[in-house]
Amino acid sequence: MHKTEVDIPPSVRKRLIHLFGLIEKEFESVCQENVILQEKVESLTEKVNEKYLTTEQFQVNSKQKPPTGQKLKTADKLKAQTSKIVSSFKSPSAANCQFVKEYGGHRDGLWDLALPRTGQPVIGTCSADHTARIWCIETGTPLLQYTGHTGSINSIKFHPIKDLALTSSGDQTIHIWQAAVNLDNLRDRESDDTETEDDRVVPILRTPSCTFLGHNGPVMASDWLLGGDQIITASWDRTANLYDVETSELLHSLTGHDEELTYASSHHSQKLVVTASRDTTFRLWDFREAINSVSVFQGHTDTVTCAIFTSAGLGGEDKLVSGSDDRSIKVWELRNMRSPITTIRAESGVNRFAIASNGVIAIPHDNRQVVLYDMTGQRVNRIPRTARNRHRRMVTAVAWSEDNSFANLFSCGFDRLALGWSVQLYKD
């Protein structure tokens, strides 16, 4: 007997849409309550620290007799213990974070964002609305819109040295397209004070330079390998594919994960690739030798949402950082990955984080927060949330800029917005 598709009656479909809407509202309400409670806890913690975690609480009152004998020893112990507590709460670094720009125009939630390594003052975003956009960082003006995909665009990466963008989509394809934009035309447009936002026509690119096929499920992420001659992809079909850019040829299909892949990224200076999966593991693939090798790591208890190598220039040994829906971020020493050297406990599920060249990790959360930590696990700061300048739904990804003085951290989320932040780090 052949299977036939059964259309859902309009009344049932309408009812389902209504129920899903109620579920979404309830989820948002719970998230909001969680944020409020978290802020209350932090406020109370600060008050407790001010009251009890200062050595002044144990100083002798000038009107009282100084303690003697055993009492003196007890007071000294209390002072010593308190000093230890204070030092354990103190972060070695801190940051001043300010909102600077909003990038709005997508018609659905944003999945990812990226900045070119060439230093151009632009940012790229991709969305579930099937489009990717390139924006001017300082003005927030859209410079180019790519519409070549027929499904949600789940990731975007710029070529290391060329004006090319790499996007992965739910339509099971990966595209490379020309990402060159003319900033001179933007300056001319800025001089026209009579032009409004509605008057601005965003150039549209519909045709990719190259299309990669071979996956049987949505492609969640992709990245350029060292030099930009090859790309790595990660798909819900449980495979990661390695392609040659010039020929579009599939070089390797990397299998072994037990469930859908969520992320893939490459090392900045070696032919190493890491893939993350819903099977709670991430895998390290080594293409430096003719015979490829793979290592499996099981440090998480839920979906591994992101795994990336530390950026070039960061002091010390090369590291790999992984994040998960189990509300943890783990830092691993690449030469010895038997166990993580640092574990950061997050407030909620962790999405696509980013690491600055100075080692500060920006972590986007399901609870609409972006929190900054250093590589030792010390909390640096949290991106401020005001009535106007904040994400109203989950934050899906962040990206650092090392070359832009206007804004150096960017975030995007399901609220259809990308936001630019100025983060100034300083040592205590």
DSSP state of 180: -
pLDDT tier at 85 (50, 70, 90 boundaries)?
A: very low
In angstroms, rounded to a whole number, what is the distance separating the alpha carbons of residues 148 and 151?
A: 9
Lowest mean pLDDT among 70-84, 185-199, 301-315, 341-355: 70-84
Q: Give yes or no for residue 19 having a pLDDT over 80.
A: no
Please state, rounded to an integer, the average pLDDT across all residues of the chain: 83
Q: Give yes or no for residue 331 having a pLDDT over 90.
A: yes
**Pair 392, 406: CB distance under 8 Å:** no
In angstroms, rounded to a whole number, what is the distance separating the alpha carbons of residues 70 and 176?
A: 75
Domains of the chain (ranges, CATH numbers): 95-182+200-425 (2.130.10.10)
3-class SS of residue 396? strand
DSSP state of 318: -
Burial 354-385 (b: 16+ CB within 10 A, else e): bbbeebbbbbbbbbbbbbbbbbebbebbbbeb
**Pair 322, 350: CB distance under 8 Å:** no
Instruction: Convert the pLDDT of each residue in 133-164 to its tens digit.
Output: 999 999 999 999 999 999 999 999 999 999 99
Closest by CA position to 232, among listed 207, 260, 180, 267: 267
Give the pTM: 0.77
pLDDT tier at 83 (50, 70, 90 boundaries)?
A: very low
Residue holding tokens 């001017």?
136
**Pair 149, 167: CB distance under 8 Å:** yes
